[in-house]
Amino acid sequence: MKAFLKIIRRYVGPYKACLGGSVLLNILAAIFNVFSFSLLIPILKILFNTSREAYALTPWSLGMSFSQATGNIYFYVAEYIRQTSASHVLLMLCLVFCGITLVKTACYFGASAVMVPIRTGIVRDMRMQLYNKILVLPIGFFSQERKGDIIARMSGDVQEVETSITSTIDMLVKNPILIVIYVGVLFVMSWQLTLFTIVFAPIVIFIMSSIGRRLKSDSKVAQQYWSDTMSQVEETLGGLRVVKAFLAEKMMGARFGKVTDEMRRRNTRVAVRQASAHPVSELLGSIMISIVLWFGGTLILGEHASIDAPVFMSYIAILYSVIQPIKDLAKAAYGVPKGLASMERIDAILQAENGIREKADARPLQAFEDRIRFRGVCFRYRDGGQEILHGIDLDIEKGKTVAIVGASGAGKSTLVDLIPRFYDITAGSITIDGTDIRDIRIADLRGLMGNVNQDPILFNDTIRNNIAFGVENADDAQVEAAARIAGAHNFIMEKEAGYDTNIGDRGTKLSGGQRQRISIARAILKNPPILILDEATASLDTESEREVQEALDHLMYTRTTIAIAPRLSTIRNADEIIVLDEGRIVERGRHDDLIAQNGYYKKLYDMQAL
């Protein structure tokens, strides 16, 4: 229950007005419901002609008892019967009963309607929190998590929270109000009978809570299998070409079937336990009604009857009204633990620590004037693995082109990812114009840089919006100018919709070279002083590489460029080439000098020349 209340406190705050309206309307609905059942007493007495006593009128006051208030009502009813007839009074009472019921049901509807913005708003807020958290978490977090699992938490787990928790908020607001008011009226009608009835409430609560605890643990495991399922779907879609090429359809189908079968088994257990909520509560309610009927009957049939038959029948009607809220609370006791299991998985992301933190007094940085300097830089991933970079010392002067080369796994991409603080170094320092990058505002730091990656990261949107991505208020002329410099304008205009052409998921409607030129146009439009090229032409064919390299040459002109080179022939003119091996700088210099040294760089160059 504490976990549930914690969720309510976190998310219901903006909707306090709706919550207050629901509470008020539920109180009115309960009061009108009590009035409607109270009318059953005179109606039953008229129908069965059980009233033989004469009623006296007691002056109305706030301190009058329930019996005095009902006595006054019976007095007016008896007087009206004497003036007209019993059948006429019966008709009037039935009409009043219908009117009160109409108002009561309107209040019930209003109470439920004002809760709808709370339920939908909490789900919206939760998804927005998750998405915003994904945006601010460092890249290192996602190297340890599966994309399919994160998607499952944002879809399946949030949906489960919506189904199991937010849908029960209405019940958890309404039902306690109804139970308190109804039980209070039952105490007034017969405290002995009500006290006897309440004895059984702890038994019901214990049975429901014990089953609910098991449901939470089963639900958590079931949601984990849902994440595994989504991860396998995501992997299959991304690697479908490989699956087909290696004739692995049956193997992947068997792998997926194993996970879905296990998920089905877990979900079956959860569904069976959840389905038992209504029958168990129905059985316990029927047992309680039967016991109350027996005990109430002894009170009526005894020599000193403390309650008459019509009042007892009205009592039973109100008691039965109490049972439904108890049943709804029982359903919540089954549903909430299932949602809490999903909430724990969501909180694993929401409460994940962001290791890339900006200092409260971080300095602004508006321009790049001098150099980027690495001093004794070491790095290891936060999972405690081996050190990736060891004692890197490097100066990158403004306007220069520095190429980084080395075998796969040498630490090239890691090195350039440290500059925009995608990761934080574990030792040493990186400075820009003499200021440690950890003392600079992250937005200012990354605003100085543009990235062109090996795999162009494009979005399912138009060409225009992909080029203008991240650049506010970019007009059509600026977008077109950037596309012309990147060598993309001609093929864009060949498209039927031109710059308004949708490029599909990750740009699948474009060729590799076209995607890369769109990515270069995006960097040109941003116009950053520092350019990071991460094997920008590695995945292209010879012709596309030549075209893209020409576009890159335009982009690199007058900019400080840090290039990870897939082919050493493309960096002949670099001002300095840094050769990495196993996280260490083993050689540095210009192309001709490194060739003359006949060292590691010469070995790499000869391997590519073969």
Domain boundaries, the chain: 2-350, 371-609
Compare 525 and 197 and report the one with higher pLDDT.
525
Structure-token pair, residue 12: 């219901």
Q: Could you tell me the pLDDT band of residue 47, with boundaries at 50, 70 and 90?
A: low
Domain spanning 2-350: CATH 1.10.150.120? no
- For the cut 70, the answer to whether the pLDDT of residue 110 exceeds it is yes
Q: If you average pLDDT over residues 573-587, what whole number do you get?
A: 89
- What is the C-alpha separation between 137 and 145, in angstroms, rounded? 12
Q: Which of 119-128, 237-246, 469-478 has the lowest mean pLDDT?
A: 237-246
Please report the pLDDT score of residue 43 as a whole number.
Answer: 64
Q: Could you tell me the pLDDT band of residue 337, with boundaries at 50, 70 and 90?
A: confident
- Mean pLDDT of the residues in the chain: 78
SS3 string, 482-520, reads HHHHCCCHHHHHCCCCHHHCECCHHHCCCCHHHHHHHHH
Judge residue 610's burial from the number of C-beta atoms within 10 Å of its C-beta, 0-12 exposed, 13-18 middle, 19 or more buried. exposed
Q: Could you tell me the pLDDT band of residue 531, with boundaries at 50, 70 and 90?
A: confident
- What is the C-alpha separation between 484 and 204, in angstroms, rounded? 74
- What is the C-alpha separation between 328 and 281, in angstroms, rounded? 9
Amino acid at 177: I
Q: If you average pLDDT over residues 421-438, what whole number do you get?
A: 91
Partners of 431 in the beta sheet? 373, 436
Please report the pLDDT score of residue 285 as a whole number.
Answer: 64
Cα-based torsion angle of the residue sequence 153, 154, 155, 157 in order, rounded to the nearest 10 degrees: 40
Please report the pLDDT score of residue 304 as a whole number.
Answer: 52
Please report the pLDDT score of residue 606 as a whole number.
Answer: 83
Judge residue 148's burial from the number of C-beta atoms within 10 Å of its C-beta, 0-12 exposed, 13-18 middle, 19 or more buried. buried
Please report the pLDDT score of residue 194 as a whole number.
Answer: 75
- What is the C-alpha separation between 321 and 310, in angstroms, rounded? 17
Structure-token pair, residue 268: 């079956």
Using N-to-C axis directions, what is the helix angle for 277-301 and 249-275, rounded to 10°? 10
Partners of 533 in the beta sheet? 452, 563
Amino acid at 387: E
Q: If you average pLDDT over residues 77-99, what whole number do you get?
A: 78
Question: CB-hemisphere CA count at 13 Å for 76?
Answer: 10
Of residues 531, 536, 535, the one with CA closest to residue 513: 536
Please report the pLDDT score of residue 428 as a whole number.
Answer: 92
Q: Could you tell me the pLDDT band of residue 99, with boundaries at 50, 70 and 90?
A: confident
521: Cβ contacts below 8 Å, ≥ 6 apart: 467, 479, 482, 483, 485, 486, 488, 551
Please report the pLDDT score of residue 586 as a whole number.
Answer: 92
Q: Which of 48-57, 155-164, 193-202, 399-408 has the lowest mean pLDDT?
A: 48-57
DSSP percent split of the chain into helix, strand, coil, nearest 5? 65, 10, 25
Q: If you average pLDDT over residues 461-485, what whole number do you get?
A: 87
DSSP H helical segments within 399-462, as ranges? 412-417, 442-447
SS3 string, 67-134, reads HHHHHHHHHHHHHHHHHCCHHHHHHHHHHHHHHHHHHHHHHHHHHHHCCHHHHHHHHHHHHHHHHHHH
Cα-based torsion angle of the residue sequence 69, 70, 73, 75 in order, rounded to the nearest 10 degrees: -100
| Strand order through the sheet with 389-397 | 389-397, 371-379, 427-432, 435-436
Structure-token pair, residue 72: 């006054």
518: Cβ contacts below 8 Å, ≥ 6 apart: 456, 458, 463, 466, 467, 483, 486, 488, 503, 507, 510
Please report the pLDDT score of residue 432 as a whole number.
Answer: 93
Q: Could you tell me the pLDDT band of residue 440, with boundaries at 50, 70 and 90?
A: very high
Superfamily of the domain at 371-609 = P-loop containing nucleotide triphosphate hydrolases (3.40.50.300)
Q: If you average pLDDT over residues 465-475, what whole number do you get?
A: 86
Question: What are 160-219's pLDDT values in tens digits?
Answer: 777 776 667 777 777 788 888 888 887 877 777 777 777 766 666 566 556 555 655 666
Compare 4 and 525 and report the one with higher pLDDT.
525
Amino acid at 569: S
